[in-house]
Amino acid sequence: MRPSLHFTARSGWINDPHGITFRDGEYHAFFQYVPDRVSWAPSCHWGHASGPDLLSLRERAVALYPGDGDDGIWTGCLVVDDAGEARIFYTAITEPDFGIGRVRVAFPEAGLDGSWRKGDVLVTVPEDLDLIAFRDPFIRREGESWRMFVGAAGRDGTAMALSWTSRDLEMWHYAGVVLERSTEITEPVWMGALWECPQFIAIDGREVMISSVWDADVLHYAGYAVGGFDGERFDADGWGRLTYGEGLYAPSLFFDADGQPCVQFWIRGIGDHEAGWEGAHSVPYRLGRDGAVLTAEPHPDVAAHRGPCAVDGRVEGLAADVVWSDADGSLTFASGGGTIATVERRTGEAAVRVGDREWTVPASGPLRVIVDGPVLELSSPAGVFTAALTPAGGDLRIEASAGACEVYPLS
**CATH number of residue 69's parent domain:** 2.115.10.20
Low-confidence ranges of the chain (pLDDT < 50): none
What pLDDT, on the 0 to 100 scale, is given for residue 1? 85
Q: Does one domain contain both 220 and 313?
A: no
The answer to whether residue 1 sits within a structural domain is no
What pLDDT, on the 0 to 100 scale, is given for residue 371? 97
Q: Does one domain contain both 296 and 329?
A: no
Q: Does one domain contain both 354 and 215?
A: no
CATH code of the domain covering residue 390: 2.60.120.560
Q: Residue 9: what are its φ and ψ, rounded to 5°?
A: -85, 155
The answer to whether residue 4 sits within a structural domain is no
Q: Does one domain contain both 176 and 197?
A: yes
Q: Does one domain contain both 16 and 64?
A: yes
Q: Does one domain contain both 18 and 77?
A: yes
Q: In what order do the strands lie in the sheet with 158-166?
A: 131-142, 145-154, 158-166, 173-182
The answer to whether residue 136 sits within a structural domain is yes
What pLDDT, on the 0 to 100 scale, is given for residue 110? 87
Q: Tens digits of per-residue pLDDT, 4-18? A: 999 999 999 999 999
Q: Which of 241, 266, 300 is the last residue of a domain?
A: 300
Task: Give the pairing of strands 243-244 and 383-388.
Answer: parallel
Q: Does one domain contain both 387 and 278?
A: no
Q: Does one domain contain both 368 and 386?
A: yes
The answer to whether residue 2 sits within a structural domain is no
Q: Which of 252, 284, 300 is the last residue of a domain?
A: 300
Tell me the residue range of the domain where 369 lies: 306-409
Asked whether 147 and 165 are in contact (CB, 8 A), the reply is yes
Q: Does one domain contain both 123 and 213?
A: yes
Contacts of 98 (CB under 8 A, 6+ apart): 42, 71, 72
According to DSSP, the residues that pair with 194 across neighbouring strands are 214
What pLDDT, on the 0 to 100 scale, is given for residue 327? 84
Per DSSP, the three-state class of 87 is strand
Q: Residue 83: what are its φ and ψ, rounded to 5°?
A: -90, 5
What pLDDT, on the 0 to 100 scale, is given for residue 169? 98
Report the predicted TM-score, pTM, of the whole model to 2 decimal places: 0.97
Contacts of 314 (CB under 8 A, 6+ apart): 395, 396, 397, 398
Q: Does one domain contain both 77 and 95?
A: yes
Q: Does one domain contain both 170 and 268?
A: yes
Q: Does one domain contain both 136 and 259?
A: yes
Question: How far from chain centre, in Å, is Cα 78?
Answer: 15
Count of domains observed in the chain: 2
